[in-house]
Amino acid sequence: MTPTETKSGVTLLREKDAPYEELAPGREVTQVVDNLDVGDLGGGFFRQTKPGAEYTCKVLGNEILFVYEGELEVVSEDGSSVVAHSGEGILIEQGTTVTFRGNEGTRHFWVIHPAIY
Protein backbone atom coordinates (compact mmCIF):
# COMPACT_ATOMS: atom_id res chain seq x y z
CA MET A 1 0.00 0.00 0.00
CA THR A 2 1.20 3.46 -0.81
CA PRO A 3 0.09 6.03 1.77
CA THR A 4 -2.64 8.20 0.34
CA GLU A 5 -1.15 11.37 1.71
CA THR A 6 1.69 12.07 4.15
CA LYS A 7 2.48 15.52 5.53
CA SER A 8 4.84 16.31 8.41
CA GLY A 9 4.61 12.84 9.97
CA VAL A 10 0.83 12.52 9.51
CA THR A 11 -0.53 9.92 7.07
CA LEU A 12 -4.09 9.67 5.79
CA LEU A 13 -5.20 6.04 5.38
CA ARG A 14 -8.04 5.22 2.99
CA GLU A 15 -9.69 1.84 2.79
CA LYS A 16 -10.06 2.13 -0.99
CA ASP A 17 -6.25 2.31 -1.34
CA ALA A 18 -5.61 -0.84 0.71
CA PRO A 19 -5.61 -4.21 -1.09
CA TYR A 20 -7.60 -6.88 0.76
CA GLU A 21 -6.60 -10.51 1.15
CA GLU A 22 -8.65 -13.42 2.46
CA LEU A 23 -7.92 -14.20 6.11
CA ALA A 24 -10.54 -16.96 6.30
CA PRO A 25 -13.60 -17.80 4.19
CA GLY A 26 -15.84 -14.74 4.29
CA ARG A 27 -13.33 -12.55 6.12
CA GLU A 28 -10.88 -10.19 4.39
CA VAL A 29 -8.16 -8.00 5.87
CA THR A 30 -5.57 -5.39 4.97
CA GLN A 31 -2.38 -4.65 6.86
CA VAL A 32 -2.11 -1.05 5.80
CA VAL A 33 -0.36 0.18 8.97
CA ASP A 34 2.21 -2.64 8.85
CA ASN A 35 3.30 -1.41 5.41
CA LEU A 36 4.31 1.98 6.81
CA ASP A 37 7.56 2.51 8.68
CA VAL A 38 6.04 3.37 12.07
CA GLY A 39 7.93 1.01 14.34
CA ASP A 40 6.18 -1.65 16.37
CA LEU A 41 2.58 -0.89 15.36
CA GLY A 42 0.37 -2.84 12.98
CA GLY A 43 -3.18 -2.64 11.76
CA GLY A 44 -5.52 -2.12 8.87
CA PHE A 45 -9.04 -2.52 7.61
CA PHE A 46 -11.27 -5.59 7.89
CA ARG A 47 -14.51 -6.60 6.18
CA GLN A 48 -16.89 -9.54 6.47
CA THR A 49 -18.03 -10.71 3.03
CA LYS A 50 -20.23 -13.71 3.91
CA PRO A 51 -22.88 -14.27 6.58
CA GLY A 52 -21.94 -16.56 9.45
CA ALA A 53 -18.19 -16.49 8.84
CA GLU A 54 -15.99 -16.93 11.92
CA TYR A 55 -12.29 -16.76 12.66
CA THR A 56 -10.58 -18.08 15.80
CA CYS A 57 -7.05 -17.12 16.83
CA LYS A 58 -4.78 -16.32 19.73
CA VAL A 59 -4.20 -12.56 19.67
CA LEU A 60 -0.43 -12.09 19.84
CA GLY A 61 -0.44 -8.38 20.76
CA ASN A 62 -2.76 -5.92 22.46
CA GLU A 63 -5.40 -5.23 19.82
CA ILE A 64 -8.02 -2.50 19.45
CA LEU A 65 -10.92 -2.86 17.01
CA PHE A 66 -13.14 0.05 15.98
CA VAL A 67 -16.37 -0.95 14.22
CA TYR A 68 -17.53 1.62 11.68
CA GLU A 69 -20.17 -0.45 9.91
CA GLY A 70 -22.25 -3.38 11.12
CA GLU A 71 -21.80 -5.45 14.27
CA LEU A 72 -18.80 -7.43 15.52
CA GLU A 73 -18.88 -10.08 18.24
CA VAL A 74 -15.72 -11.29 19.95
CA VAL A 75 -16.14 -14.54 21.91
CA SER A 76 -13.58 -15.62 24.53
CA GLU A 77 -12.58 -19.23 25.21
CA ASP A 78 -14.90 -19.36 28.23
CA GLY A 79 -17.90 -18.50 26.00
CA SER A 80 -18.33 -14.92 27.20
CA SER A 81 -18.70 -12.37 24.43
CA VAL A 82 -18.58 -8.66 23.68
CA VAL A 83 -20.57 -7.13 20.84
CA ALA A 84 -19.64 -3.78 19.28
CA HIS A 85 -21.88 -1.85 16.92
CA SER A 86 -21.03 0.96 14.54
CA GLY A 87 -19.17 3.67 16.49
CA GLU A 88 -17.93 1.31 19.23
CA GLY A 89 -14.60 -0.39 19.89
CA ILE A 90 -13.23 -3.52 21.53
CA LEU A 91 -9.88 -4.03 23.30
CA ILE A 92 -8.41 -7.55 23.31
CA GLU A 93 -5.50 -8.29 25.63
CA GLN A 94 -2.37 -9.95 24.30
CA GLY A 95 -2.47 -13.76 24.59
CA THR A 96 -6.27 -14.04 24.58
CA THR A 97 -7.81 -16.67 22.28
CA VAL A 98 -11.00 -15.38 20.67
CA THR A 99 -13.47 -16.07 17.90
CA PHE A 100 -14.53 -13.15 15.69
CA ARG A 101 -18.09 -13.15 14.33
CA GLY A 102 -19.76 -10.46 12.26
CA ASN A 103 -22.68 -9.86 9.99
CA GLU A 104 -22.10 -9.71 6.26
CA GLY A 105 -21.00 -6.14 5.52
CA THR A 106 -19.39 -5.57 8.92
CA ARG A 107 -16.28 -3.39 8.67
CA HIS A 108 -13.78 -2.40 11.31
CA PHE A 109 -10.36 -0.85 11.66
CA TRP A 110 -7.84 -2.68 13.84
CA VAL A 111 -4.58 -1.70 15.50
CA ILE A 112 -2.18 -4.10 17.22
CA HIS A 113 0.94 -3.62 19.33
CA PRO A 114 3.42 -5.08 18.83
CA ALA A 115 3.00 -5.60 15.09
CA ILE A 116 3.34 -9.36 14.83
CA TYR A 117 1.16 -10.27 11.83
The domain segmentation of the chain, as residue ranges, is: 41-117
Distance CA 11, CA 15 (A): 13
Global pTM exceeds 0.85: yes
Q: What is the pLDDT of residue 63?
A: 97
Q: For residues 65-72, give the mean pLDDT.
A: 97
Q: Does domain 41-117 have CATH number 3.40.640.10?
A: no
Cα separations (Å) of 27 from 3, 15, 102, 108? 23, 15, 9, 11
Residue 16 has pLDDT above 50, yes or no: yes
For residue range 34-61, list pLDDT tens digits in order.
Answer: 778 778 899 999 999 999 899 999 999 9
Q: What is the pLDDT of residue 9?
A: 80
Q: For residues 17-24, give the mean pLDDT.
A: 91
Q: For residues 1-5, give the mean pLDDT.
A: 53
